[in-house]
Amino acid sequence: MCSNELTQLGIHTEGTVLADAPTPILVEEAIKRDEGILTSTGAVRVKTGKYTGRSPHDRSIVDTPDVHDDIAWGSVNVPISSEKYDHLKQKMVDHLCGEDIFVTHAMAGADRKYSRKFLVVTELASQALFVHQLLVRPTADELRNYGKPDFTVLAAPTLKADPATDGTNSEAAIVINFHERIILIMGTRYSGEIKKSVFSVMNYLTVKENHVLPMHSSVNKDPKTGDTCVFFGLSGTGKTTLSADPSRVLVGDDEHAWTDDDVFNFEGGCYAKCIDITPKTEPDIFNAIRFGSVCENVVLDDKRVADYSDSRYTQNTRVAYPINYINNSDPAGTGNPPSVVIFLTADAFGVLPPISKLGKDAAMYQFISGFTSKVAGTERGITEPTPTFSTLFGEPFMPLDPMLYADMFGERMEKFNTRVYLVNTGWTGGPYGVGHRMELRYTRAMVTAALSGSIENAEFVHDSVFNVDVPQFIENVPSEVLNPRDTWKDKDAYDKQANKLAGMFEDNANKRYPNMKPEVKAAGPHPKN
């Protein structure tokens, strides 16, 4: 089957083809081929070179007639011609013909009613291991009856594009072709490009073919009641940290979909940030860094012991592991429709309340806006927190019109009486450089109150600038922390910063979303004169 699949892709390799190898063999191959080394805990540590994060300016979508009117073209979804794609694909095929090849028959989507089959072909054993741990593994029966894949990923990290002759932005290229159902990834060893390309594809297919809402989110659930919570947020806002709650069951840490019947994980593993991780702060993730895991750009000493506080290679150190490495996880990857949704934002201005309640229109507004601060290392060139609006808390991965996703969110929120809260895991007491990050223990206490519903018993005060309702009491959280203005020494400076950020919200909505519904726009922040 594998040989025929490669032949259909035009790949007639002179090397060895290893298909669906188990974890021990992939680990051995990665070490034997000098792709990485074993850490003291048995994980494979790899270095990804100059590309230590996603490279958004090197990503493009092939502009074909069948998707031309669907894609939200712009600076995120950049079009590339079929001719350029054909050239890059032939270059990729020619390269792989001279390499040893690792093939993985994987799936995306734990709910098999909506899952898609992804065939991943790569030249690196460590990337095959990454895919084996991150995507959904077919059962033995599903593997025997795999058939034709729904999408194919061709990854060649050692193949560099040439901007002069290939028409690319750099030596890296990530190209999605929805017509041919092929993804090309070249010139970058950062395996997150594979993960996020699959996510981007699912964010198109599940909407267009199933009317299912994809979400850049983590999900956990109460082991007794089954009540589910969805956490939205960009990398660095705390999705993985807050969803890995020892008192709850982890459904997944990054990519999900919300149907009329359930929420389900797109993946079968986790891809967690490692920077500053300790057994005390992140026990579940820390203990998941063991044999079979893949660590990217983690610093090791001469005894192969990891120093997770060392960011000499990048702030964006990562570990990939199967979800069953988290003790209180659900390998089935499904849960009930959410009773609670939490939007996570890292506010570098230090003015947003640490937690606030949102009605339907306000929730849709915040979902569309996706305000946060990109943190160091998650993308090339980001060295300190940078305020940004990332539509749907996942703009780089959403190919369709944002209003389409937002309307689906509002429909589901209303149908399931889902409570929505905005949680600021960013700065308090002042902006970045003056204030400090919100303490994790306080954020956990706020999230716990939201999940239990006890937050609803508190008095709420309306913040007229940000147009949100702020609770005045949460157990184990100092009252002044709940009201950010109280944490600033200079109240006038707070007011100035708050109005500045509210104005940024308004400008973003006016410039980028002219078709936003009036009632939704009215529910957003408004600066005071």
From 235, 237, 373, 425, active-site residue: 235
Q: Which of 105, 221, 239, 380 is catalytic?
A: 239
The residue from 59, 216, 273, 357 that is catalytic is 216
Q: Is the Cβ–Cβ distance between 371 and 382 less than 8 Å?
A: no
Instruction: Give kind and range of the element (H or E) at residue 427.
Output: strand 427-428
278 is catalytic: no
Distance CA 46, CA 217 (A): 26
- DSSP letter at 392 equals G
Q: Which of 54, 117, 132, 273 is catalytic?
A: 54
Cα-Cα-Cα-Cα torsion 322, 327, 332, 337, nearest 10 degrees, comes to: -120
Amino acid in position 370: G
Query: Two tokens at 202?
Result: 């699912």
Is residue 318 annotated as part of the catalytic site, yes or no? yes
CA–CA distance from 416 to each of 227, 275, 308, 420, 447 (Å)? 12, 37, 41, 12, 20
Residues 317, 222: Cα–Cα separation, whole Å: 30
Cα-to-chain-centroid distance, residue 399: 15
130 φ/ψ angles, rounded to the nearest 5 degrees: -55, -50
Q: Determine the distance from the C-alpha atom of residue 453 to the mean position of all C-alpha atoms in its chain, rounded to a whole number.
A: 27
Q: Give CA–CA dist 479/498, Å, rounded.
A: 19
> What gap in Å lies between CA 136 and CA 269, rounded to an integer?
8
CA distance 511 to 368: 13
**Which one is catalytic: 105, 137, 196, 221?**
196
Q: What are phi and psi of 140, to 5 degrees?
A: -60, -40
Q: Which of 253, 254, 284, 469 is catalytic?
A: 254
Q: Is 491 exposed, middle or buried (0-12, 13-18, 19+ CB in 10 A)?
A: exposed
Virtual CA dihedral for 364, 369, 373, 376, nearest 10 degrees? 100
Choosing from 195, 318, 357, 521, the catalytic residue is 318
Q: Which residues are CB-contacts of 193 (< 8 A; sequence separation ≥ 6)?
A: 54, 55, 155, 174, 185
Active site residue 54: yes
Active site residue 360: no
Among 200, 218, 240, 378, the active-site one is: 240
Point out the residues that are catalytic: 54, 196, 216, 235, 239-240, 254, 318
